[in-house]
Amino acid sequence: MLLLVLLTVITVAANARSTSVKQSSLSFFYVIPLGTNGGLDENNLSSYLLTSINNSIPNSAYISLDGGTIRHGIEIAIKQQSLPLNTDKEIFIREQIKAYLISHGHLDHITGFLINTPNDKSGKFIIGLNQTIKIIRDHYFNNQAWADFGSTGLKTYDYQILDPLSTIPAPIVNTDLDVRIFRLCHTCPFLSSAFLVSRRNQPSASILYLGDTGPDDVEKIIQVDQTTYSPRYLSQLWKEMAPLVAANQLKAIFIEVSYPNGRPDHLLFGHLTPNWLLKELNVLKSYHSMENVKIIVTHIKPENGAREKIIEQLSRGDALHFNFVFPQQGQAIWL
């Protein structure tokens, strides 16, 4: 009974927040969350399908932002009618997911993609930082952990390595989308990354997707001589995003909150809490008001009522300056 009441409360809270992400003739992007959690449940791990919208109709060519859960997420999306009821998930994965943008090499961001590789269609790109691509090549596609589906083996996929220092967007093949990459601190010395995805020929619309990241004030990089420094990658990212926010071009920021408040900094393991998220978002807000940018909260660790606590902690005080969205698996978001 208590569980039922709790579930009702969560649904109400989630619905209250999702009213702002319904279909609108002003929408530029269509997002299907295939997985929204930060671990444990293998059926609901970080993965977001994204496509452009033309004349209020989502384009059939999707990209996948991370690939934690794929097949099960598509099943849920079909049930929720975020995809047509007659969608064949096999054909959808082969024909309609055109590229995989992987933020970092952790399993919770890549397992669904890996498991589905044997049936995938060739000619697709895996897109990421050089370091992430190297992890995929050396640790998964190595003919030991898994067959080599990359360009040195079965050639199902090619690698598209993005340079975080380049300011020129790279085209995502077979889509009308372009992408830039940014570095993030997560588990030193390995980096995570953020993707800025924009509509080609329509630079008035972009979304920013961040993989796992810790806060600038906590994250340090250990150098070869064992000294540390703070790269402050989030500050750099906010500085780059400020003109887009000011020009009303940035429609949404997908960013993680793994734990509720109260978690000690030394146990963050490269993740954010609501307070740390607010501290970071306030840096961006110091450049420009954020009222037109949806903040899509990803990667909540499904432990000890974390989801309800995080929703509650992001619904008062300073959080009211931001337009938070708590995505649900399979439930489409119009941006």
- What is the contact surface with Zn ion in residues (CB under 5 A)? 106, 108, 212
Q: Which residues of 225-237 are buried (b: 16+ CB within 10 A; e: fewer)?
A: eeeeeebbbbeeb
Of 82 and 111, which CB lies nearer to Zn ion in the complex structure?
A: 111
Of 214 and 274, which CB lies nearer to Zn ion in the complex structure?
A: 214
Of 106 and 251, which CB lies nearer to Zn ion in the complex structure?
A: 106
Return the amino acid letter for 16: A
Q: Which residues contact 249 (CB under 8 A, 6 or more apart)?
A: 203, 204, 205, 206
The nearest distance, CB 212 to Zn ion, in angstroms, is 4
The nearest distance, CB 234 to Zn ion, in angstroms, is 16
The nearest distance, CB 103 to Zn ion, in angstroms, is 8
The nearest distance, CB 42 to Zn ion, in angstroms, is 13
The nearest distance, CB 108 to Zn ion, in angstroms, is 4
The nearest distance, CB 214 to Zn ion, in angstroms, is 10
Of 106 and 180, which CB lies nearer to Zn ion in the complex structure?
A: 106
φ, ψ (nearest 5 deg) of residue 297: -85, 120
Of 45 and 53, which CB lies nearer to Zn ion in the complex structure?
A: 45
DSSP secondary structure of 282-304: HHHHTTS--TT-EEEEE-B--ST
Are the C-beta atoms of residues 183 and 191 closer than 8 Å to each other? yes
The nearest distance, CB 299 to Zn ion, in angstroms, is 6
φ, ψ (nearest 5 deg) of residue 106: -65, 145
Positive/negative CA dihedral, 137, 67, 120, 94? negative
Strands (E), the chain: 29-35, 47-54, 57-58, 62-65, 97-101, 124-128, 157-161, 170-171, 177-187, 190-199, 202-210, 221-222, 228-229, 250-256, 294-298, 323-325, 333-334
Of 156 and 329, which CB lies nearer to Zn ion in the complex structure?
A: 329
Of 212 and 280, which CB lies nearer to Zn ion in the complex structure?
A: 212
When CB distances to Zn ion are compared, the closest residue is 106
